[in-house]
Amino acid sequence: MTSFCKHRDIEVSNRGVCFSNLGQSLLKKKSITIKHHYRVDIFTSIIDQQLQELNNRFSEQATELLMLSTTFDYKNIYKLFNVEDISRLVHKFYHEDFSNQ
């Protein structure tokens, strides 16, 4: 981010300076840096929002199917290959396509 701003002549604030949250009372005020505020507080809340959006868009069954199908990823076939996942995939989603044998 710093190199991007320097390249475009954008002023970069000192991220080591304490960040004060005006909504907090003096008793609850914490000494956190601007860097911490953006890296932890803002970043984690955005990640939480993204996860909620993904959870709202895909059903639990679709998510499970996607997770179980990763066992067939050819890039990491030896790491991800799991017989129990294949068995669950067959029994839950493709039970009519396979016999007990």
pTM of the model: 0.41
Tell me: the pLDDT tens digits for 63-81?
888 888 887 777 766 776 7
What is the residue extent of each domain of the chain? 1-57, 59-101
Does 95 have pLDDT greater than 80? no
Give the number of other CB atoms < 10 A from CB of residue 63. Answer: 13
Q: DSSP letters along the chain, please? A: -HHHHHHTT-----TTSEE--TTS-TTT---EEHHHIIIIIIHHHHHHHHHHHHHHHS-HHHHHHHHHHGGG-STTHHHH--HHHHHHHHHHH-GGG----
Average pLDDT of the chain, as a whole number: 76
Give residue-wise pLDDT tens across range 44-59: 889 999 989 988 888 8
